[in-house]
Amino acid sequence: MAVTLLLLLLLLLLLLLLTVSGVDSSQEVSARPGQNVTLSCQYNVESNGVLSVCWNRGPIPRFGCSEQLIATDRERVKEETRASGRYQLLGHLDGGDVSLTIVNVTAEDAGQYGCRVDVPGWFNDQKHHFVLSLETVPRTTSVAAVSTETSPYWSTATWTPGHMTSAVFTSSVISVKEEVRLTTSIVVSVLCVVLVIAASVLVVVFAGKWRKNKVPQVLHTSVRFSSSLSTLQLHSQEPAPENVYQLDDGGEYDGGEYDYCP
């Protein structure tokens, strides 16, 4: 029973570790059909160096990018992963700028996108989500900025009626949730402690069962040894001495006969 509870606890901790990990952010992006829109995704090169990145169409899965649009191998774009020539990485890859530019956006491009930065270590990947919506009414969006230590964002949006221009849109921030790596380290430490405790409990349980199985064998061996020793003692006893009686007459030996009594 105790072993089953420990296994269930380990599974719950593992699910928690998979759910709460790395850095996760979400932004809403607006654009007009025919423009080029850039989804800004950057990471800190000084912390981990140049990293590999993949862009996903839709929510980012737990591992990799299931609906991959484009990916990088550190400082190089992996051309075999490019889903269309409309997807471009025009930033400085060696500087941590892996922003995705979609050329000539259409209504079919509306929806969710995800940028996954492959950070070394367990469950440390940075995940940045974007929701792209297409506007039909001309408007000018004010400059906004969201800056964090691990992943800074700069957003501007400009549109001039009557002109088709290229612009970078990362506006209307919905939410930014930073899960510090310290949280992941704490969860990993707790998981390690639980594993050690579980291993100790298993050792104690199996040791107890081993002792219970061994004691009856020792008792049986002792009984057999005692029985053999008793039998040996019975066989080694010396026979009782024979009693000899002498009959005499007047206390002197007259050469009479001896009577033997068993």
pTM score, two decimals? 0.51
Closest-CA residue to 38 (of 129, 128, 103, 96) = 103
- The pLDDT assigned to 164 comes to 39
What is the helix (H) or strand (E) element at residue 195, kind and residue range?
A: helix 181-236
Q: Residue 238: pLDDT band by 50, 70, 90 thresholds?
A: low
Question: Does the pLDDT at position 73 exceed 80?
Answer: yes
Instruction: Return d(Cα 176, Cα 113) in angstroms, integer.
Output: 15
Q: Are 155 and 169 in contact (CB under 8 A)?
A: yes
- The pLDDT assigned to 239 comes to 54
The two three-digit tokens of residue 204, written as one number: 């104690």
- The pLDDT assigned to 19 comes to 46
Report residue 25: phi and psi, to 5°.
Answer: -140, 160
- Rg over alpha carbons for the chain, rounded to the nearest Å, is 44
In this structure, of 26-35, 182-191, 237-246, the range with the lowest mean pLDDT score is 237-246
Determine the residue type at 124. N
Determine the residue type at 161. P
Tokens 């005499």 belong to residue: 248
Q: Please give the distance of CA 150 from its chain centroid, rounded to a whole number.
A: 23
Instruction: Return d(Cα 163, Cα 35) in angstroms, integer.
Output: 10
Tokens 């089953």 belong to residue: 4
The CATH fold of domain 25-135: Immunoglobulin-like (2.60.40)
pLDDT digits (tens, 9 = 90+) for 110-166: 999 999 999 988 888 999 999 999 987 555 555 444 444 444 444 444 444 433 334
Sketch the domain layout of the chain as residue ranges.
25-135, 178-209
70 DSSP β-pair partners: 55
Closest-CA residue to 244 (of 231, 259, 230, 224) = 259
Q: Residue 85: pLDDT band by 50, 70, 90 thresholds?
A: very high
- The pLDDT assigned to 211 comes to 73
Q: Are 58 and 83 in contact (CB under 8 A)?
A: no
